[in-house]
Structure formats: C-alpha cells, structure tokens
Structure 1
C-alpha cells in the first residue's frame, strides 16, 4: 500500500486491508502495489490497483424534511418535473424510489429517477380528477445491509373545475349609419377558478356574416367592424365563445337590432291649393304639408321638402 496519506489503513500478510481507526472521509483512494520475488531485484515485475473507499453511514437514511408539498396545474404538458428529491436527501450515495402513491389512481402518473432524484409527471393530469396525490419516497443506501428512510411528497393539483359563466342575453339597438369601431355592448363572462384557469378570452363566431360586421376585443367589448349600410340584415345574433385558461368554453349570446332606412316618405296629400291675394303678409305660413315615414329611426324620418308653385295671374289693363 503506497499512498495511504492518512495512515488509517493496514495491509496485512493475509492480503486483507483493515481500517486502524474511524474512517470519516468519504471518497478516499488507496493504491496497492503487488511485486514478485524474482532475484535479482532489478528483474522483478510489479502491478498496481486502486481502491476507492466510500464511507456509508451506519444510521437510517433521513430526509431533510419528513414531508414536502408542491402545487401544479392540471393542464401542463407531460412529461414535466414537479420535484427534485436529490436536493432533499442527506448524501448523494442514495438510491431513490417511489414506495407508494395515494390514491391508487395516481399509480403510473409519476416517475422518479433513482439516481438524479427528478420526480416527473409522465402522463397528463387531466386523465384523473383527484385534487392531490401523496407520494411516499424511499431512499436506500448501498450498505450491507442496506438502510433506508422515507419522506412524503404531497402533489396538489390545481383543477380547472368550472367553465366560464355567461351573462344574461344582451339585446341592443343601433343605427345603420354608425361608423366602424362604434361601441355596441360589453359582454363579460365570469370564472371562479384560480390562477390562469380564471382568465377568459373572447372570440366572435356569430351566425352568417356576423364576423364581417362586428368584432370583439380581448376584454369582451363588441364594436362594429365595417359599414352596416352594405348589408340588409335587421337582427344579428352574435355568438361569442368565452374560453378560460384551461381550455373550457361557453357560448354567450347577444342580439343586435339595426334600424335601417327601408321606406320612402309618403305625403298625406299630393296636391295642395292655396289662394293668396296681393296683400298677403310676408313670413306668414302659407300652408302646412304633412308627410310620414314608416322607418322608426329618427334620422331617417327627417324630411326634406321642396315646393313647386304654379301661379295664375289675372291682369286688367286700362286703355
């Protein structure tokens, strides 16, 4: 034995190595030289071997904590790591394994690398509905006999329990002459799930040509998209898809009635007769003309009238 720097090992005549005291240092390496007895000594041949000494604890493996807890979203794409057991064991010379998973539906969902200690989810958690799993992790050393210890990891699964809830049917009326990007209504769905599962995005799926004439923002604000006068529909049914962060959807509805200028004005009397004499006062009403318009939209019922007067003059000339 040629490099026992600490002087704590002894190679006896039986070719067995003994420790002369307590070995506290791990990872020690000693070198053994074997030499034949050929004479003269200059002709002797020798060989070498190295022995690495790993110090194993004679006590039960203890994790830094008896229990751990992590939380994960159910919609994460498998596989993904949820826990690093290697940082929570007393030394690196430990083999890790899963001893049990509760409830039983969690068996096969988790994988623990026995060397690196990486605990991963191997299948999507949406295949099950459990709110949490308790995983008992076992650490075993390489001693003879092997000693082991246990720790429990609780994996809490944040579930997307509810789809968005739509508000009551919205009914609004607008004029066909409004400009593009005019506000129509705000549709606000609700979702009480935590984290990203409670965040809602909106998209307009509509009926027929609804997406051509209307649009919706990420916050649920509905506005006109283009000139409504290029269409003739009187009632649009807007179907809005409200989708949460976990992918659950609900269909919300809004109805938009458009006031269109569909009718021409109608004069109540087509011919008017009014006789005036030369003494008729200026700025005095001559006659009242009545007209109607079947359109309910106020701006379409404003009438522009023009008069065509025919005058008949009777002249008496004296000679």
Structure 2
C-alpha cells in the first residue's frame, strides 16, 4: 500500500476542554486496539481533514486526529474577529496534546506531523520524549527567522512573481519594504471588515498557490474560502510574528533530546513553503533518522512520491 487507504469513518469523537475558554475537537478511527498515533495538522490553523485518517492502516492503527486551538471544529474559531489568541501558543498546544493523550488513556504514541505539524511534533517530542514511540515528519520547519523571511520576505516570491504581486496587493506601496508579517498583522485586525477579509484572503491564497509542485486550482479555491482564510491567516500571523514562542534555532539545538526515537523525515525537493535545508540540518543532528528527499515533489502531503514515503513509513512502524 503506497497511496491513501480507503475512506474511513470515526468510531468515537468529542470535545475536550483544554482551559482558557478553548475546547478542541478530537476523533478516533481505525482499530481501537491498534498502535496509537496522533496526527498533527499544519498551518498553524489549517485544521484536520477526513483524508488525514487515510495515511494509516486502519487495521493496525488507533488513529487520533484533533483540530488545534482556534481552527477546524474547535471553539472558539479564529474566523471570529472577537476570538482571543493570547492563549494560543506553541506551548499551549503541546500541553493540549498531553491533555488529550491522558484523556484517551494512551500511554505512548507515534507522532505524525507535517509542515507546522512537524514543528509542533518536534516541540512535543522534545518536551515529552518518553511519550513518543516514533516520529514521522513531513515538510520540516522550525520557525527560524530565515525560514519566515524566505516565505514572507520575498525569497519565495522570486520563484512566483505573479503570485507574490497578488500577495502584496493589500499592502500600501510605501510599506512594502517593511516587515510584512507585522504589516499584515495590522491589516488582519483593522476596524474595517473589508480590509481584514482582503488581507486574510491574500495571505491564505499565497500559501495555497505555492503548496504543490504544480498549481492546483482545487487547493487555491480551498485556501480562498473566507472562513478558512480568516482563521489560518490570523493564527499563522500570530505564531510567526512571535517566532512560535521558540528561541532562535531551539528545536534544532534540543534535537539531542529525541535522538533515540525512531524518526523518518520526508521532504519535497522543490518545497517552497518549507525548503529542504531545514530537514537536511535536522538529519545532521539526528544521525539515526531516515531522511527521504522526494525529487518530484513540493510541499503538499498528497503528491505521489511524498505520499508513497509517508505511508511506507507508517506501514513499517505499524510492526
């Protein structure tokens, strides 16, 4: 099996109160007696999808998926301008994962995360290495300044100039030389709803346009949905302007804490969102990790070569 498994229904789901007025949606599918795995979605703020269940053999895995604070089916939803992001940080999410593990009665589990989910997966594993059996990470990011500058400072825009021009449209011409993450923060919280929505759509669409090796109108349309765009733009901007509440390079610096955990890193060669250099640097710090660079892939998890590597890793770890 190297593609997605067949469509799968949940056998249990619920809402978990994680404090600070937040409740997170969680679900379980697959085999209740199988190997536990927790799936960490991207963004931050992207939310989980039924397709994510299909990365795991349902006969062998107890598949746990949840929507992180503020997005998906969790409440309050950050598409609401009144939603407060003060208690939505990397370390709140790490604590949420532990609270969910305890709530579900899981002793140890495999952690699977892509894009922002790889960042969160590393943060969780370095904080709770005794709770992690294996790591499968895709599109590796650790939120260093150079990674954020690449995507929001014009580096990636040199490959996609027409898309970058659309991204810049809501930004006043005289401010386009400033820190664009900060400028977008102002726009996303402007008093004028039209300004907020226009900025959110520009932010979200930019990511959707550069996700795949070849453009996908379906992906762009999904990222252009106003409700989705408002949530992901606000949450991503909130995290990125704070550097994920991580010291510069912290997750690489502390990689030794997870050295004994079996780890597979899957990275698209032409990933514009999270360039391959970070996966390469992490591999140098984790000699026992397996790094799979997919030569015909961008950032998305469902590109054929990436999907083959991810499902291959989950199948091997199932045993």
Q: What TM-score range do you get, normalising by the shorter chain?
A: under 0.3
Task: Return the TM-score normalized by structure 2.
Answer: 0.20
- Could you say which structure has the larger radius of gyration? 1
Task: Return the TM-score normalized by structure 1.
Answer: 0.20
Larger strand proportion of the pair: 1
Q: Which has the higher contact order (CA 8 A, sep 6+)?
A: 2
